[in-house]
């Protein structure tokens, strides 16, 4: 499917074709402006595709009823909670929107408070909560109506490591219990640690998709990744571009990606030259050992502005 905004020169989402199996924990990565938010908004029914369609269990959602959309839960990046209400009141309000009443609503409120470990804080106003507690409530509000698919947009941004781990542990448990999850994050170690499969989107297109191991294999062993403390002088960049065996060189503010026909020898010579030039190397590796390295190779090291 594709999405082109009025007046835009190119699609925000360009012919994306994805299939996510029930019960998977699926990660979505992409730089700023890559199309992640537009794609997520279409998956949740907040935007209509310009072309193409979305199918849930084989059924088009283009004309889906409110009951069908209730199979999906959304955890937005911006907190979707009312700070002047208590945790219990927030859950009651959003549960009511989802059509829950009476004993069923009370049962789901109790479940969500227990899941977020907020039972003892249930009647405190949200404006007294820490950032981590607010994120936990933001998560379980999306669970109040027992969705079959949970979509999370940067759910751990700006919180402490303990709260991040708490959210991750709960997502793993919910996924083990059968909940299908789509998870987008700028923390690539989260995606690598949590997800069964993932896709990388850039300029509105899916440029890589598969298991974590399959994505790591996208970067051949001829790739050399280095991080340095400061930008390289131009004469060093010129020298690296002309190294024997180097086919391509790309430079960021603190990163270098080289493609070499003899990577071990090239890396040895690079480190020798950096020692002479008194340039400090923070890290160096061959091939890809983590998703961040793959991400930089596939999308480039140039900073992107938010749209």
Domain segments of the chain as ranges: 25-216, 223-287
Q: What is the pLDDT along the chain (307 residues), one digit of tens a residue?
A: 999 999 999 999 999 999 999 999 999 988 888 899 899 999 988 899 999 999 988 888 877 787 888 899 999 988 999 999 999 999 999 999 999 999 999 999 999 999 999 999 999 999 999 999 999 999 999 999 999 999 999 888 888 888 889 999 999 999 999 999 999 987 788 888 899 899 999 899 998 899 988 887 766 657 888 999 888 999 999 999 999 889 889 998 889 999 888 888 888 899 999 999 999 998 887 765 567 767 766 776 555 554 4
Q: What is the 3-state secondary structure (H, E, C) of the chain?
A: CEECCCCCCCCCECCCCCCCCCCCEEEEECCCCCCHHHHHHHHCCCCCCCECCCEECCEECCCCCHHHHCCEEEECCCCCCCCCCEHHHHHHHHHHHCCCCHHHHHHHHHHHHHHCCCHHHCCCEHHHCCHHHHHHHHHHHCCCCCCCEEEEECCCCCCCHHHHHHHHHHHHHHHHCCCEEEEECCCHHHHHHHCCEEEEEECCEEEEEEEHHHHHCCCCCCEEEEEECCCCCHHHHHHHHCCCCEEEEEECCCEEEEEECCHHHHHHHHHHHHHHCCCCEEEEEECCCCHHHHHHHHHCCCCCCCC
Tokens 């960049």, residue located = 237
As a CATH number, domain 25-216 is 3.40.50.300
Distance (Å, whole) CA 14 – CA 29: 16
**The pairing of beta strand 180-184 with beta strand 149-153:** parallel
Q: In this predicted structure, what is the pLDDT of residue 307?
A: 44
Nearest to 146 by CA among 73, 59, 61, 64: 73
The encoded tokens of residue 245 equal 């065996």
CB 92 within 8 A of CB 109: yes
Q: How far apart are CA 24 and CA 14, in angstroms?
A: 24
- pLDDT at position 216: 74
Give the count of beta carbons closer than 10 Å to the beta carbon of residue 25. Answer: 22
Say what the pLDDT of residue 302 is: 57
Domain 223-287 fold is Alpha-Beta Plaits (3.30.70)
Q: Which residue, 147, 160, 130, is CA-closest to 75?
A: 147
Instruction: Indicate if 223-287 has the same CATH topology as 25-216.
Output: no
Which letter, b or e, does each residue of 200-211 get, where b requires 16 or more Cβ atoms within 10 Å of its Cβ?
bbbbbbbebbee
Query: What pLDDT does 297 receive?
Result: 66
Please, are residues 2 and 16 in contact by the beta-carbon 8 Å criterion?
yes
How far is 6 from 22, CA to CA, in rounded Å? 34
The answer to whether 206 and 17 have CB atoms below 8 angstroms apart is yes
């Amino acid at each position: 499917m594709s999405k082109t905004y009025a007046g835009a020169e190119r699609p925000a989402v360009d012919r994306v074709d994805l299939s996510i199996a029930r019960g998977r924990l699926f990660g979505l990565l992409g730089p700023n402006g890559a199309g992640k938010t537009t794609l997520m908004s279409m998956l949740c029914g907040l935007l209509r595709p310009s072309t193409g369609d979305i199918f849930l269990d084989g059924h088009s959602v283009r004309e889906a009823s409110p009951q069908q959309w209730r199979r999906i839960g959304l955890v937005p990046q911006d907190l979707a909670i009312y700070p002047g209400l208590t945790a219990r009141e927030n859950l009651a309000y959003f549960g009511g929107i989802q059509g829950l009443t009476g004993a069923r609503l009370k049962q789901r409120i109790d479940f969500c408070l227990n899941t977020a470990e907020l039972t003892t804080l249930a009647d405190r106003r949200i404006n007294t909560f820490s950032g981590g507690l607010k994120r936990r409530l933001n998560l379980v509000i999306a669970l109040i109506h027992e969705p079959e698919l949970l979509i999370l947009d940067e759910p751990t941004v700006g919180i402490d490591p303990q709260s991040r781990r708490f959210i991750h542990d709960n997502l793993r448990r919910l996924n083990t219990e059968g909940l299908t999850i789509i998870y987008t994050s700028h923390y690539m170690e989260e995606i690598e640690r949590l997800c069964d499969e993932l896709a990388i989107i850039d300029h509105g297109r899916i440029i890589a998709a598969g298991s974590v191991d399959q994505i790591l294999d996208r970067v051949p062993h001829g790739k050399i990744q280095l991080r340095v403390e400061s930008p390289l002088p131009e004469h060093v960049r010129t020298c690296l571009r002309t190294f024997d065996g180097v086919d391509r060189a790309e430079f960021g503010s603190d990163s270098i990606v080289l493609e070499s026909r003899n990577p071990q020898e090239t890396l040895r010579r690079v480190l020798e030259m950096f020692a002479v030039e008194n340039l400090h190397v923070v890290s160096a590796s061959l091939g890809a050992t983590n998703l961040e390295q793959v991400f930089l190779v596939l999308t480039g090291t140039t900073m992107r502005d938010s749209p």
